[in-house]
Amino acid sequence: MSDQSLLRDGWLPGVRELSFGGDYNPEQWPQEIWAQDLDLMRRAGVNIVSIGIFSWGLLEPRPGEFDFAWLDAVIEGLHEAGIRVDLGTPTTVPPQWFWQQNPHVRPVLRDGTVLAPGSRGICCPSSPEYAQASLRITTELAQRYGKHPAVVLWHVHNEYGAPISECYCEVSAAAFRVWLQARYGTLDALNTAWGTAFWGQTYGDWAQVGTPAQSASMSNPAHRLDFARFSSDELLGCFTRERDVLHEKSPGVPVTTNFMATNCPSMDLWKWSREVDVVANDHYLTAADPRSQVGLALDADLTRSLADGRPWMLMEHSSSAVNWQPRNLAKRPGELARNSLSHLARGADAILFFQWRASRRGAEKFHSAMLPHAGENSRVFREVTELGATLGSLTDVLDSRVQAPVAILWDWESLWAQDLDWRPSVDLEPRRQVREYYERLWHDKVTVDFAHPTADLSRYAVVLAPASYLLTGEAAANLTAYVEAGGHLVVGPFSGVVDQDDAVHPGGWNGVLRDLLQVSVEEVLPLPENGAVTLTGGTRAGVWAEDLAPQNAETVLEYTDGPAAGRPAVTRRALGGGTATYVSTVLDHHALTVVLDPVLERAGVTIDRDLPWDLEIVSRHGADGSEYVFAINHAGAPADLPVEGVDLLTGEPCTGSTKIPAGAVRVFRR
């Protein structure tokens, strides 16, 4: 586990200001451009850049031969300009000589396709040749720059799991067997956990166990679930291997890697977050999301939760359009600031972009940048410079933290399991369910944390479990204890169905939660495509219904039509000082008010529907009792906000009410 004591003041060494910058790739440009970059960075307020992330082939042009002259010059130039360095280990892109020497470690997809080099992403994560080569370049970098005063952070690899998260080659298969032996000890235990008696899959020798490659029909789901766990662990091992070298050679400088909290589903980031010194995340808007500001906030809140409330870094986002979606929409005027400051409001003390200067060549030449192709006289660069000045005026928010009264349960293992084939309905999408619950609270101005089902939940007035398909006995006991102690729990449909081996719990479709909820699910009733049902009072629901048999729970809402007509749809059970509510169907963020409003009221959580729908409100709290209120207006019309305090962007006092212009951001201290 990473040594958090490495962090000075809980953040980057010696940094007492908000960090602002982005990926910097000077190796793509002639040296005469470098001086221009430094001048423009200073103008924009840049105080940190990430360098060296994709430069392995330049730093080690031949095995064991190193050329650091250009990197020396870059780091010295940045240091003289007062710009700090987040120094990358370039292990996401092995050099061409590595592939030439080791063609056998090219990654293999589940269908047997062998991928060629020439893109990004590592080779087989279990490759000993890759481990040796990556440690060599990391050690050389650490010895040369580990005590350089400009280097305040180490950046290992880049976006683990993207695009390669699983490898099905023979090297991976051998490593998988070692992992399984450590997990299960005996073949009997593995056969039991995987239920290999079904379809005659029993193993009699460890050598018979391979990767769950593409087969004639549905593969064993427990086999695939364990391979997902193994793959996450193998990538994590690649990170910790380099991290340990950096800790040894560069003591006192924190080490991180950039997560993709909601966009890279192949890594169990609860595990990963315990191994980094600072949590860092990349986030990009999805053009297909009509309310992308909500998805951004969800991603930021999940990242803050991974950091356990500590400061975190937005390592990458875009100044405008990306280049890898089917339709790459440019950000409109003011959107760059709204996106950036929403991350800041939700706990990020560093706002960085990909990248500083737009590339003229390569796969990402149409990706936006802080300094776009249009140059310094462009709208984007003016907005970047304005953002730098804004962040410079918000130093007061350092050391403040976000406080959330509500938590939503999030478990990557449960998502992996529910994503597998042959589930009752392809329309029951767990991430979509989480998004609807989150969006309801976003509009109601209620701040949300995310938590693992076995985490300490005692700080939260309300815990929501919209999609907890895989739930262990330990997790169910934790939720029961939470309710008994006075917490208020809301559970969504198809939850508590299977254990850690993807085996159905005894006692019904929600077997592990039956005693807590005091209701049994006798049958699940998926609806036809675009099907809907009506609940008491006319509330409409979709996708899914269930035939419930309450024992000691009251019926809150009934189905009035559909396959479960006349049966309970929503139940509530009182236990100790708390309540456990079960929602057996899928409600969108509008309809969820009928379920969540009574729970929030009973728990004492304040909601605000007097403010405009698209006015985002979130606060950070200082240890001295100060509160920093971020008001971000995503609407096309101005909004009135009741607030008492000082506008940190203008220095003007506010009493009573103030107007937030359309598309604008205001930050108040009160």
Residues carrying an active site annotation: 159, 316
- DSSP alpha helix (H) spans, 325-429: 335-345, 379-392, 412-419
Q: How many C-beta atoms surround the C-beta of residue 129 within 10 A?
A: 16
Q: Quick check: helix, strand or coil at residue 86?
A: strand
483, two tokens: 């309710």
- Output the CA torsion sign for 247, 97, 74, 372: negative
Closest CA to 24 of 357, 516, 459: 357
Q: Is the peptide bond before 163 cis (omega within 30 degrees of 0)?
A: yes
Q: Cα separation of 654 and 666, whole Å?
A: 11
Round to whole Å and give the CA distance between 604 and 594.
Answer: 16
Instruction: Provide CB contacts within 8 A for 268, sequence distance 6+.
Output: 229, 232, 412, 413
Residue 154 · residue 138 · CB < 8 Å: no
Q: In what order do the strands lie in the sheet with 48-51?
A: 255-256, 151-156, 84-89, 48-51, 19-23, 348-353, 312-316, 280-282, 258-259
Q: Are 481 and 457 in contact (CB under 8 A)?
A: no
Cα–Cα distance measured from residue 240 to residue 394, given in angstroms and rounded to the nearest whole number: 34
Q: Is the dihedral of CA 597, 600, 606, 612 positive or negative?
A: negative
Q: DSSP string spanning 138-170? A: HHHHHHHHTT-TTEEEEEESSSTTSS-----SH
With beta carbons less than 8 A apart as the criterion, state whether 418 and 375 touch. Answer: no
Neighbours of 311 (CB within 10 A): 24
Burial tier of 534 (Cβ tally within 10 Å: 0-12, 13-18, 19+): middle
